[in-house]
Structure 1
Amino acid sequence: MERHVLENLLAGGDEVAEAALAALRNGATYTVTDTTHPAERHAGVFALRLRRMRRRYGAEPLGAERMVHLLREHRRPVRGCLIDTADQKWTYLLYLTEDADALVSCARLQRGPQRRPLQ
């Protein structure tokens, strides 16, 4: 996916989408997966991670709860995307429609020393 296409998908979105757009415009790198998976599968996994983060850290990533809600509502396959900020402090996790024509949801995650790639 070309950068300008991803920027267009994020334009006019919520607070997290606008922050991801700003990151892209400031030199962030990004990866869009070639595969799709059921939205409910991602929602379930991320809901578990969200509960763990709340318990462990008493906080949650920006947009995480809304992301789980939107993925559950979507009920169709989604395509994943990661945006890593140029300063390596944040990663934006995005889910796009199966054809990558629209943004379904996104959240901002603080990068840790042991981050694994999106699968």
Structure 2
Amino acid sequence: MEREALASLLTDGTEAATAARDAVLRGGAYVVWDGSDGSTSAESLARVYERRLRHTRRIGQETLDLERAVRRLRGHAAPARLGRVDATDRSWAYMLFLDEDGQSLIACTGVKQPKR
């Protein structure tokens, strides 16, 4: 997926999507997995990210819109495609949940990365 096309999907107004869009436009590394490699049931993703939400809360790791992403995934009946964007300084990683054809954003979440 082209950088500009990805940036155009990250416009839902949430803090995570806005930050991910900024990272994409500033040259951050990104990947959107093809359907065969990155498409899975949204319900399955909701369960995985609900566990991650509990874990990040338990350890005090900062997140953006993770709870919202879990809710949105639960409400999405079709498979979802995954993507990831890294901030240029690698301080944040953003997970993208796109519809199966990669044409619209279901949800986006950010997780602050530990300092190296």
TM-score, normalised to structure 2, is 0.89
Contact in 2 for aligned 1:50/1:60 (Cα 8 Å): no
Contact in 2 for aligned 1:92/1:106 (Cα 8 Å): yes
CA offset at residue 54 of structure 1? Answer: 1.2
What SS does the corresponding residue of 2:64 show, helix, strand or coil?
coil
CA offset at residue 19 of structure 1? Answer: 1.1
Decide whether aligned partners of structure 1 residues 75 and 48 sit closer, same or farther in structure 2, where only a CA change above 3 A counts.
same
CA distance in 2, matches of 1:39, 1:81: 14
Please tell me the root mean square deviation across aligned C-alpha atoms, in Å.
1.6
**In the alignment, which residue of structure 1 is the partner of 2:54?**
51
The letter of the residue matching 2:110 is R
CA offset at residue 113 of structure 1? Answer: 6.8
**In the alignment, which residue of structure 1 is the partner of 2:3?**
3
CA distance in 1, matches of 2:115, 2:49: 20
Contact in 2 for aligned 1:31/1:81 (Cα 8 Å): yes
**In the alignment, which residue of structure 1 is the partner of 2:92?**
90
CA offset at residue 11 of structure 1? Answer: 2.5
TM-score, normalised to structure 1, is 0.87
CA distance in 2, matches of 1:46, 1:31: 19
Contact in 1 for aligned 2:92/2:111 (Cα 8 Å): yes
CA distance in 2, matches of 1:12, 1:56: 28
**In the alignment, which residue of structure 2 is the partner of 1:117?**
none
Unmatched runs of 5 consecutive residues or more in structure 1:
115-119
Decide whether aligned partners of structure 1 residues 41 and 25 sit closer, same or farther in structure 2, where only a CA change above 3 A counts.
same
Decide whether aligned partners of structure 1 residues 89 and 60 sit closer, same or farther in structure 2, where only a CA change above 3 A counts.
closer
CA offset at residue 56 of structure 1? Answer: 2.3
**In the alignment, which residue of structure 2 is the partner of 1:104?**
106
The letter of the residue matching 1:79 is R
Identity across aligned pairs (percent)? Answer: 40
Contact in 1 for aligned 2:42/2:76 (Cα 8 Å): yes
Report runs of 4+ in structure 1 exceeding 4 Å deviation. none
